[in-house]
Structure 1
Amino acid sequence: MISIKPVFCCLALFLAFQASAQQRPNIIIFLVDDMGWQDTSEPFWTQSTPLNKRYRTPNMQRLAKQGMKFTNAYATPVCTPTRVSLMTGMNVARHHVTNWTNYARDKRSDNPDSTLQSGPWNLNGMSPVPGIPNTVYATPLPKLLAQAGYFTIHCGKAHYASNGTPGADPLAMGYAVNIAGHAAGHPASYLPEKKYGAASASHGVPGLEEFYGTDVFLTDALTRKALTAIDKNRASKKPFFLYMAHYAVHVPLEADKRFYQHYIDQGLSETEAKYASLIEGMDKSLGDIMDYLEREGMAKNTVVMFMSDNGGLSLSPPRTPPAHTQNLPLKAGKGSVNEGGIREPMIVSWPAVIKPGTVAEQPVIIEDFFPSVLAMAGARKPVLVQQTDGISFLPVLKGHSAKVKERLLVWHYPHRWNRGEGPGLHFFSAARKGDWKLVYDHRKEELYLYDLKKDIGETHDVAKENPSVTKQLAEELTSYLQERNITMPVFKLSGLPVAWPSEIASAEQ
């Protein structure tokens, strides 16, 4: 006689897994490219500014009312380091992808500098498999979510790694679906009449042939494809993870005709109006996704996280500001460790957990998304090949900010981003702890200290007035970098490495 008890046990386990999968939340990371902290009608400061009044982002406002707005959220100065930190939980000082990856393999993206030479870095980005030269080998977030039973969707910009390496393909990173993602850091075109730049071998957006000859702007095309992918998954009963990584609002500046005329009528220049139309088109995408979730009864069990990968492009090399955006009152923009380059608009909505309309002042940084998403997904103690730096912000979402310890946040950008010799866009490290922020200029070997609570624009250096704070932060920054095997840049004339921040602070005592 054949026992059917094991069959019932297996069935019970299967049903339990199915029930658990249905209870776990769907997770959406909505990542914008090059969107500054002020490029929204939702203020992330203590007051609304003229820049907030320039833009129309009603769906960001809607998301903030539903969830929690973070006013001290940080990424890195440029795109690929941010994306690698998000996907691995590693700080840039640990993964050593310290600059954006070139489409071509083994080609440096940093511009020549007259004074300094960058040390070795992982110029090919990240890799989900070992042994790829000039990459950091790590277990990617989507792979872990797939192992936890999630249906994983990549949509839009990838830019994790250089072409010809495994990390350039989102499918190799653990996504079940890849929509338009490859090694390029920006689209050749947003326009369907230009086939989204298909003529460009490197930067043409792949896989959107169905929209050629239509009037569907790239941002809208990606949104439609993402929602179709979610819809197709519904029969599986699996929770989904959508990485909605828009190419917007990165250059090239091309008008989204749905919104462009409004900004011309408001008196903006053509360049500014094109950029503003990209912003509003991105916000429309957010709204379309939120509408879909509500219409299909999925909103209550879906986490939506909004973030940008770096600050707005306030300096457009080789020109001087303003280009098409600005980050005031923040200092500088993309390519800088000053607040304009790294402080980002961040919102999290999770109806089952977050009290609507709340504001979090707790500082968070991009690598914190990694452990936070895994915790949301119930992926306990995942097996990783990398050591991580991120700290889950779930306690903040649950209203327990007071229990979160003060910590050191670190940025390291040992490169020249702009082509000229302009200020603020080359060879810097920085650290924030509490309201204090230390900035280290590698070229000048000088330390600057700012009190962000009193001086969010970093206009007044108070290092000399606060030598003990400067010394303490310099020592902590040095230890952080050294523990992660950072090699400082070298002076071309002398061949000597740039001094560590702690050495400069000690010399000034």
Structure 2
Amino acid sequence: MNSTLKISLKKEQLYLGLLTSLLFAVSVFAQSSKSKENKRPNIVVFLVDDMGWQDTSVPFWTKTTEFNKRYHTPNMERLAKEGMKFTNAYATPVCTPSRSSLLTGMNVTKHGITNWTSPYKDNNSESKDQQMVPMSWNMNGLSSVPNISNTAYATPFPQLLKDTGYFTAHVGKAHWGSMGTPGANPYNLGFMVNISGHSAGHPQSYLATDNYGNIPGKASVQAVPDLQEYYGSDTFLTEALTLEAIKSIEFPIQNKQPFFLHMAHYAVHDPIMGDKRFEQKYLDAGVDPIEAKYASLLEGMDKSLGDIMDYLKKKGVDKNTIVIFMSDNGGLSLVPPRGGIENTHNLPLKAGKGSVYEGGIREPMIVKWPGVVKPETVANQYVIIEDFFPTILQMAQIKKYKTIQEVDGQSFLPILKNPNFVDNSRSLIWHSPHNWRGVDGPGINYYSAIRKGDWKMVYSMRTGKKELYNLNDDIGENNNLSAVNPDKVKELASILSNELRKNKAPIPNFKSTGKPVPMPDETP
């Protein structure tokens, strides 16, 4: 063999050796990265629509209420035993503002989606009002694309999860944006799977015998998409969505990929339709027929929670899965569609959905995180739905990320690690500058509110009246202390007004003068 050939062979052997070493190093690095990635927790946000603070057998107060005794939610009880209850958890009075705050971490005053969004683009969903002029607000909802008219342009956290290796799935109600805008489609907001999420905010029907509304000639924009395989069966909508949610996470579990599941039920939003699996026992107990249907919607939702938890355990991933339970606003208390007497369905909390009083904004919230959250603990520190954004990213170990928007939410991870955590310096703010459904009620239509510590101030834009309550002593907001504590009113009015101004929150004008509603610190 000549010397030239020997040198050539040696070079080939050297290159082959280097290539083999490089491939081995890449393989080790990939396995190491995959192993590290697999340790990141799976995250399930279980979001219920219109569920009130007491619409469960789990008490979120210092005592069990009569409503807690009515309802049967054993899987919520199970989740509470395995995790932490939050007794002072808040959302906004209606759905789209809450859902947008959850996805973006922005307070409602900042994202300007201050009412529910119509399925139709550029359609103002607020009802006509005799006193106020319709105003400009982000009526088309949330958008991940800039320069879409009347939208809040922001970075949704599912996109950040997806970008860092999470499998992201949305199942159920979306209601983030109007048809013809990017926010109408969950795929544009960072989700890799979307089942039944679109521009509408409630189902046309919960019944598979109605094809969930998809009957030719009878279908409306509220007809629930993507569930054709269940048509004509006896599969209630809540059950169908649960089955689809379980299917959606099979792939990441099999491939050992961390996943985020946004399980967003249409239940318990109207139309109030009975889930036959559970309805009869409430009727037998003497519950009002409409309320028996409502209770069955709740119990069907609870079964869904249990089914998902059981599946996670069956697949051996429950120890590395965080489950966060939340509602998007307080329980509906208008009659109809509820049965009984109006504004009684959330007592002792005042009012219900649409109101800035506690009945419209205080929510049932539970967090289970094995190895981090001590089981059967209770946190009394107040939190709000925009806090989910930074918390979930912190849970997912995403430390450096860029967002289009400034994030208002604060991580509640310190609370999860210490249920006795207290911060009374923080202010929570609500802003509902609309006529929501054409009827006035307690704290409904043209109200703002602020909570700091135990103190809460409610501001009426119609009258300029400011009410002050101490929630620690008066959870029902029955004793207005504004006259005896004017300094606290002044303090809270100043904070609220400054936030409204800073965030350029939508403010209506009076028809009589054409002038904008005064800020809380501008009225006596």
Letter in 2 for 1:169: N
* Structure 2 CA distance for partners of 1:70 and 1:319, relative to 1, 3 Å: closer
| Other-structure match for 1:349 | 368
**Following the alignment from structure 1 to structure 2, what is the Cα–Cα distance between the partners of residues 214 and 296?**
28
CA distance in 2, matches of 1:342, 1:206: 29
Alignment of 1:19-418 (within 5 A): 19-199=35-215, 200-316=219-335, 322=341, 326-399=345-418, 401-402=420-421, 404=423, 406-418=425-437
2:448 matches 1:429? yes
What is the match of residue 500 of structure 1?
519
* Residue equivalent to 1:444: 463
- Cα offset for 1:294? 1.4
- 1:63 maps to a residue whose letter is L
Task: Describe the SS at the equivalent of 2:78.
Answer: helix
SS at match of 2:446: strand
Aligned letter for 2:105?
A: G
CA distance in 1 between counterparts of 2:286 and 2:424 reads 47
Secondary structure in structure 1 of the residue aligned to 2:434: strand
- 2:374 alignment partner AA: K
Shift of residue 17 of structure 1? 1.8
Is 1:437–1:452's contact at 8 Å kept on the other side of the alignment? Answer: yes
Alignment coverage as a number of residue pairs = 505
Q: Distance in 1 between matches of 2:416 and 2:52?
A: 23
Alpha-carbon deviations, 1:62-103, whole Å to 9, x = none? Answer: 100000000000000000000000000000000000000001
**Contact 2:321 2:369 (C-alpha < 8 Å) held by counterparts:** yes
Could you tell me which runs of 5 or more consecutive residues in structure 2 were left unpaired when the two chains were aligned: 1-13
Matching residue's letter, 2:513: S
Q: Greater shift after overlay, 293-302 or 349-358?
A: 293-302
Structure 1 position 26, deviation (Å): 0.5
CA distance in 1, matches of 2:81, 2:94: 29
Shift of 1:228: 1.0
> How far did 1:404 drift?
4.5
Aligned mates of 1:285, 1:359 — CA distance in 2: 24
Identical columns (%):
56
Higher mean displacement: 383-392 or 479-488:
479-488
Aligned alpha-carbon RMSD (Å): 1.6
- Contact 2:332/2:338 (8 A) holds in 1: no
TM-score (norm 2): 0.94
Alpha-carbon separation, structure 2, partners of 1:403 and 1:460: 25
Separation (CA, whole Å) in 2 of partners of 1:483 and 1:382: 24
SS at match of 1:30: strand
Task: Report if the CA contact (8 A) 2:288-2:340 is conserved.
Answer: no
Retained in 2: the 8 A contact 1:318–1:420?
A: no
Structure 1, gaps ≥5 residues long: none
* Contact kept in structure 2, 1:315 and 1:321, CA below 8 Å: no
Q: Which amino acid is the alignment partner of residue 372 of structure 1?
A: T
The CA distance in 1 between the partners of 2:127 and 2:339, in whole Å, is 17
| Deviations 1:271-329 (CA, angstroms, capped at 9, x unpaired) | 11100000000000001111111122111110000000001110146999626971010
Distance 1:415 1:260 in 2: 36
Give 1:422 deviation, angstroms. Answer: 3.7
Q: Which residue identity does 1:100 align to in structure 2?
A: W
**1:480 paired residue number:** 499
Deviation at 1:172, TM superposition (A): 1.1
What is the deviation of 1:268? 1.1
Given that 1:407 and 1:433 are in contact with CA atoms closer than 8 Å, whether structure 2 keeps it comes out as yes
Instruction: Say which is worse superposed, 208-217 or 322-331, in terms of deviation.
Output: 322-331
Cα–Cα, structure 1 residues 325 and 234, in superposed 2: closer, same or farther, change >3 Å? Answer: farther
Q: Which moved more, 1:224-233 or 1:177-186?
A: 224-233
Instruction: Write the deviation string for residues 386-414 of structure 1: whole angstroms up to 9, x where unpaired.
Output: 11100000010011653656300000000
Q: How much has 1:423 moved relative to structure 2?
A: 3.8
Q: Output the CA distance in 2 between the equivalents of 1:237 and 1:295.
A: 15
Q: Answer with 1 or 2: which has the greater Rg.
A: 2
Is residue 414–residue 421 contact of structure 2 (8 Å, CA) maintained in 1?
Answer: no
Moved more, 79-88 or 16-25: 16-25
* Maintained 8 Å contact 1:33/1:309: yes
Residue 47 of structure 1 aligns with an amino acid whose one-letter code is K
Asked if the contact 1:395/1:401 (under 8 Å) is kept, the reply is no
Alignment partner of 1:303: what SS?
strand
Tell me which amino acid in the other structure corresponds to 1:17.
Answer: S
Change (3 A) 1:194 1:318: closer
Is 1:465 aligned to 2:465, yes or no?
Answer: no
> Residue type of the partner of 1:92?
V
Which residue type is aligned with residue 195 of structure 2?
Answer: I
User: Structure 1 residues 403, 324: CA separation in 2 closer, same or farther (over 3 Å shift)?
Assistant: closer
Worse-superposed segment, 443-452 or 6-15 = 6-15
SS in 2 for 1:402: coil
Q: 3-state DSSP class of the match of 2:24?
A: helix
Q: CA deviation at 1:498?
A: 1.0
TM-score by length of 1: 0.97
- How far residue 8 of structure 1 moved from its aligned partner, in angstroms, is 3.4
Q: Matches of 1:392 and 1:198 in 2, distance apart?
A: 41
Q: Deviations 1:211-261 (Å, cap 9, x if unpaired)?
A: 112111000000011101111222321111000000000001111000000
Residue 213 of structure 1 aligns to which amino acid in structure 2? G
Residue 154 of structure 1 aligns to a residue whose secondary structure is: strand
Q: Which amino acid in 2 is paired with 1:470? A: V
CA distance in structure 1 between the partners assigned to 2:237 and 2:273 by the alignment: 10
* Conserved? CA contact 2:290–2:338, under 8 Å: no
Q: In the TM superposition, what is the alpha-carbon distance from 1:467 to its structure 2 partner? A: 0.7
Distance 1:224 1:319 in 2: 28
Query: In 2 relative to 1, CA 324–225 (structure 1 residues): closer, same or farther, beyond 3 Å?
Result: farther
Query: Which residue of the other structure, out of 484, 490, 502, is the alignment partner of 2:509?
Result: 490
Q: Structure 2 vs 1, CA of residues 325 and 164 (structure 1 numbering), >3 Å: closer, same or farther?
A: farther
Secondary structure class of the residue paired with 2:421: helix
The range that moved more, 290-299 or 10-19, is 10-19
